[in-house]
Structure 1
Amino acid sequence: MTGSSTQPRSRTPLVVGIIAAIACLGLALLVVVGLVVGGVLYTSGHTDQEVPAGSGTSTGDLVLPPEVGQDEPYLELSTAADGPVVDVYIDFLCPHCATFHDAQGADLQQLAEDGEITLRVHPRPMLDPNSSPAGYSSRAANAAICAYAGNADPAAWFAAETALFDSQPGESGLTDEELTDLVGEATGADVSSCVTEGIYIPWVQDVVEPEARQSTEGTPTVLIDGETFTGDVSEAGSLKTAVEAG
């Protein structure tokens, strides 16, 4: 009787299988680690908006202008110990606001610089839908705030405001490049990135405008110690007279 001989089985396939399994596990771990790290980087890159130095305070996606509190819907350009509080609501696309600025702007600036009034300016985006493309009021307000934000400088605001009203466009508005050039030439401030990124547009739209809708019926509107100025806003000197009359 002839016995059958049994050949020893090769262990090569088993070893190869083990190596392959380890390689797959390592690859899977690398993928998981990559996803986790990528998620962390994405989140950290989108949690806080990057704000240029000296531009203001970031609260999530909302950037406040310098020296503006979270619930303050205005720029306080001067503070008077005993003088009245004057709130001015304007829209840079509003033709009547340009007329108001021509008649009252120099007086308001002088009263503010002399410390006779607390001047609060509310730059509204009320007429955003009226421009083509929409949004000029917000972008123009942002450009003026960008100039002010460099050093929290009221003089820069007044210069930017004058330039924007003197060059007030029609419904076509101005491009970001045109706003940058106009405000930059008027104030000497580099506002290019601030204008392009629309840094303060959320503040204008989400803080300034909601309060303005509750407090006023349109632009221009002036409140003196909370009372609406009812004089002729196009008559030079009328607002100064009302302020000084107390």
Structure 2
Amino acid sequence: MNRSRTPLIIGIIAGIACLGLVLLIVLALVIGGVLFASEDGGNDGNDGRTPSPAASGELVAPPGVAEDEPYLEVSSAADGPVVDVYVDFLCPHCAAFHETHGEDLAQLARDGEITLRMHPRPMLDANSTPAGYSGRAANAAVCAYAEDPEQWFQAEAALFENQPGSEGLTDDELAEVISEATGSDVSSCIAEGTYLPWIQDVVEPEALESTQGTPAVLIDGEQFAGDLEEPGALEEAIAAG
């Protein structure tokens, strides 16, 4: 009689073991799903953080700038001419332009003699390795402007003085350049590419329609046709206008 019960007991034990295994598998799947949902954060795998403007494509204009304005108004003058300057921070000719005319423009702006509008372009994004340095450098300068419009001049000068080759600068290096020049910590603004959508979707399309390249200067809407390599030539043209 004991022998006849043995297979039954074994069957019961095996059934219980199988049921326990099934319960463990189900429990593991439930826990795994909860953990995945928690880590996903409901925002497309951005580690539970709010997506950056650049990653989400959200267009954020700098403070005081309308979303459809393709420039930073660094200074304003009631009676002076409007001077639009188009630059790319990877452009060697732009660095030479800044060395020749940068201080003149900054002084005219600080003295309130001109309305200075800066157009930081991502024109040469494809020329860096990895691609995108022009836009990232432009964003770094705009980040400084967002802290204080007066910081544009220091940021612009520092970016041209530290102009790299085609390898570009890393975000950390850009943040260090801006910090040393302005005293502002804009590392998160640089890392998140806060103003990149504005630079790419607003600044660049207008620049492509208005200019042939960089550097370029418009005085009251008219292209400066003088010698950009001649010191003082731009200042004289502005005064004459």
- What TM-score comes out, normalization by structure 1 length? 0.76
Which residue is equivalent to 2:235?
A: 240
Aligned to 1:92: 89
C-alpha contact 1:49 1:61 (8 A) present in aligned 2: no
- How much has 1:157 moved relative to structure 2? 0.7
Task: Decide whether aligned partners of structure 1 residues 182 and 60 sit closer, same or farther in structure 2, where only a CA change above 3 A counts.
Answer: closer
- Does the aligned pair in 2 maintain the 1:131–1:172 contact within 8 Å? yes
Mean Cα displacement is larger for which, 99-108 or 60-69? 60-69
C-alpha distance in 1, partners of 2:116/2:165?
A: 28
Aligned partner letter, 1:219: T
Give the secondary structure class of the aligned counterpart of 1:154: coil
Aligned twin of 2:182: 187
Distance in 2, Cα, partners of 1:49 & 1:235: 46
> CA separation of 1:177/1:50 partners in 2, compared to 1, >3 Å: closer, same or farther?
closer
Taking the aligned partners of 2:232 and 2:106, their CA distance within structure 1 comes to: 13
Is 2:97–2:228's contact at 8 Å kept on the other side of the alignment?
yes
Distance 1:180 1:50 in 2: 17
- Unmatched 5+ residue regions in structure 2? 1-33
CA RMSD, Structure 1 to Structure 2 (Å): 2.2
Alpha-carbon separation, structure 1, partners of 2:139 and 2:68 = 18
Query: Do residues 228 (structure 1) and 235 (structure 2) align?
Result: no
* Secondary structure of the corresponding residue to residue 214 of structure 2: coil
Structure 1 gaps, min length 5: 1-33, 52-58
CA distance in 1, matches of 2:117, 2:128: 26
* Residue 155 of structure 1, CA deviation: 2.3
1:236 CA drift (Å): 1.2
| Separation (CA, whole Å) in 1 of partners of 2:149 and 2:221 | 22
1:154 Cα offset (Å): 2.8
Counterparts of residues 26-41 of structure 1 (less than 5 Å): none
Judge conservation of contact 2:86–2:214 (CA < 8 Å) in 1: yes
Map Cα deviations across residues 54-87 of structure 1 (whole Å, 9 max, x no partner): xxxxx97111101101110000001110111000
Equivalence for 2:79: 82
For the 8 Å contact 1:109–1:158, the answer to whether it is kept is: yes
Match for residue 174 of structure 1 among 148, 157, 169: 169
Give the TM-score taking structure 2 as reference length. Answer: 0.78
Residue aligning to 2:115: 118
Q: Are the counterparts in 2 of residues 49 and 60 from structure 1 also a CA contact under 8 Å? A: no
3-state SS of paired residue (1:234): coil
CA contact (8 A) 2:67 2:198 kept: no
Superposition pairs of residues 19-58 of structure 1, within 5 angstroms: 42=42
The percentage of aligned residue pairs carrying the same residue is 66
